[in-house]
Amino acid sequence: MTAASASMPLDDDEPTTGTGSGGPHSVNWKVVAEAPGLLPARIIADRLQAEGIPAHAWQESVGQAYGMVYGPLGTGFVSVPTEYVDAAREILAEAAEMDLDFDDDDEER
């Protein structure tokens, strides 16, 4: 993913055109996750990609330029093609169920 593609907003169900072995086609993207900034959004997108789901992390360009991580301009978004929305949400729900609170472990030592 290039820096330019990371900042391109993809609104809900916004079609984009791509080419592949089957020729030009239209892809509708849907936002499946929001995160505090682009870096966490990229981590989420990488997790989905590891599961074979095409995912795109992006942030509003003004927020990215100023390094914002809070508020509407600081929000990072993760979008997937509409045919992968259910699978992506299932993976994200499984990840959210995992208890990774390391602060509690430090206090017990």
Go through the domains of the chain in sequence order and give each one's CATH number: 27-100 (3.30.70.1530)
**What is the DSSP secondary structure assignment for residue 100, as one 8-state letter?**
-
Instruction: Look up the pTM and report it.
Output: 0.68
Write down the pLDDT at residue 93.
Answer: 93
The pLDDT tens digits for 61-88 are 887 787 777 788 889 999 999 999 999 9
Write down the pLDDT at residue 18.
Answer: 54
Is residue 24 pLDDT above 80, yes or no? Answer: no
Confidence of residue 4 (pLDDT cuts 50, 70, 90): very low
Mean pLDDT over residues 99-104, rounded?
54
The amino acid sitting at 106 is D
Distance CA 31, CA 34 (A): 8
Helices (H) and strands (E) in the chain — how many of each?
5, 4
Distance CA 55, CA 33 (A): 11
Q: Maximum Cα–Cα distance for the chain, whole Å?
A: 58
| C-alpha dihedral, 86 to 1 to 6 to 50, nearest 10° | 30
